[in-house]
């Protein structure tokens, strides 16, 4: 289970990075067109269309990474005050609900891409782009997102089955303040540690890895 989760996390990170590159390229295209119009009176027809495709693909490629890093969880005013069993129940409910939404998007997206691919539909634009061309990688992002949800749900249920609430929380729970601080410091190359003598959270509520 841990091997599958780690592999999913690595793949999600790779595509999130690629998605970021696509967003930068999209921003570059739009910026180039704006500058060329203002300074060179040159218009690059279709750059806004290509940028929109890149933005859509880059967005779906980043969804899985947001899930595995729990970047999508932000509201925790009440959650942090609940007992571990109730937190776990809400975590499972949240994953199931998110899975339903992701499956609905994936199912509808597949029908759309399949129809455009079979019928050879093209965009009603000067580029006449085959619609399936940007939609296939876009659909892949939704598929990776749904797969990541399934793996996260399986890992959470497996952890709860053996009474490991810490692993379950680290998979589907809300990121604690200490974890956010640790993550930010790690990104800066600074080691994170508690001050000597500082109060430690109770063992059952600690989310430390």
Residue 200 within a domain: no
Residue 199 within a domain: no
Q: pLDDT tens-digit profile of 132-177?
A: 999 999 999 999 999 999 999 999 999 899 888 888 888 887 776 6
Residue 151 within a domain: yes
Beta bridge mates, 130:
122
Which residues make Cβ contacts (< 8 Å) with residue 174, sequence separation at least 6? 70, 73, 74, 75, 76, 79, 80
Residue 61 within a domain: yes
Q: What is the dihedral of CA 80, 84, 86, 92, to 10 degrees?
A: 100
User: Contact 106/142 with Cβ under 8 angstroms?
Assistant: yes
What domain range includes position 76?
A: 2-191
Number of domains in the chain: 1
Category of 198 on φ-ψ map: left (φ > 0), alpha (ψ -120 to 50) or beta: beta
Query: 190 in helix, strand or coil?
Result: coil
Distance in angstroms (rounded) separating the CA atoms of residues 173 and 150: 15
Residue 136 within a domain: yes
pTM of the full structure: 0.79
Share of the chain above pLDDT 70, in %: 79
pLDDT of residue 57: 94
**C-alpha closest to that of 33 among 6, 52, 8:** 52
Residue 80 within a domain: yes
Residue 205 within a domain: no
pLDDT of residue 164: 85
Q: Can you list the pairs that 36-45 forms with residues at least 24 positions away whose Cβ atoms lie under 8 Å?
A: 45/126, 45/127
- Please identify every stretch of the chain with a pLDDT value under 70, giving residue numbers as ranges: 40-45, 73-76, 176-187, 189, 191-209
The b/e string for 16-52 (b: 16+ C-beta within 10 A; e otherwise) is bebbeebbeebeebbeebeeeeeeeeeeeebbebbbe
Residue 11 within a domain: yes
User: Contact 145/60 with Cβ under 8 angstroms?
Assistant: yes
């Amino acid at each position: 289970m841990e091997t599958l989760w780690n592999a999913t996390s690595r793949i999600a990170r790779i595509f999130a990075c690629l998605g970021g590159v696509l967003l930068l390229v999209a921003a570059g295209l739009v910026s180039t067109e704006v500058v060329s119009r203002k300074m060179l009176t040159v218009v690059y027809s279709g750059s806004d269309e290509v940028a929109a495709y890149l933005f859509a693909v880059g967005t779906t490629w980043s969804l899985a990474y947001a899930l595995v890093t729990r970047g999508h969880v932000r509201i925790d005013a009440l959650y942090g005050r609940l007992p571990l069993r109730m937190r776990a129940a809400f975590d499972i409910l949240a994953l199931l609900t998110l899975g339903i939404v992701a499956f609905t998007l994936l199912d509808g997206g597949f029908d759309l891409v399949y129809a455009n691919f079979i019928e050879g539909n093209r965009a009603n634009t000067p580029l006449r782009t085959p619609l399936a061309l940007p939609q296939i990688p876009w659909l892949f992002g939704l598929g990776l997102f749904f797969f990541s949800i399934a793996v996260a749900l399986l890992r959470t249920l497996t952890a709860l089955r053996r009474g490991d609430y810490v692993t379950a929380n680290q998979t589907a729970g809300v990121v604690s303040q200490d974890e956010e601080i640790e993550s930010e410091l790690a990104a800066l190359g600074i080691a994170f540690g508690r001050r000597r003598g500082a109060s430690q959270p109770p063992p059952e509520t600690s989310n430390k890895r």
